[in-house]
Copies of this chain bind each other. A is one copy, B any other.
């Protein structure tokens, strides 16, 4: 009788699971809790997913595919960034932040990863690679190219990348990882902090006034 909307039940389950996992973590959310929120019985869920674990796997798979589809080569990254002035560079940083955390669904999955990485080695590897190591590699390549072109002072590009990018991790750790914020008022404050950060770096590494 109510089965007229059978299309979408699977997706509704998955969206609900993402919401709940992001709030409480995979282990602290029960099948009963998910199905109650969706409005179905526990047993019905198993017509769509073989196990609770499979739901988590699909969620991580989704994030992984998002990154595959959006990834660019280091060469492209260098070409895009090395010629920018400070203001344009800041906008680029904000865009990157938005690519990672701008969409609520992706943000929630990052939170799930942040929680699961303590229990799951694969989750930790993905988290470390995508959120830390890969961005550092790109950032280092960009700084190295800028040094070779004489745009910024000579130095250790890896150390410079760590110093610059650490701030992004600080923002994530302090304002994004634990989900009690979601207030748009803080956005302007974050933007000001990023501006101040880039101002500092511009002054610190500029060979000439950019």
Q: Which residues of A contact B (CB under 8 A)?
A: 24-25, 27-28, 111, 114-115, 117-119, 121, 124, 128, 132, 155-156, 158-160, 162-163, 165-167, 169-170, 173-174, 178, 180, 193, 196-197, 199-201, 203-205
Contact = CB atoms under 8 A, between A and B. Distances in A.
A158 B201 CA distance: 14
A45 B92 CA distance: 56
Given A25-B119, A162-B193, A163-B201, 4 more contacts: A27-B28, A166-B166, A169-B173, A204-B205
Interface centre among A114, A170, A174 (most CB of B within 10 A): A170
* Tally of this chain's copies: 2
A196 B164 CA distance: 13
Contacts of A178: 117-118, 124
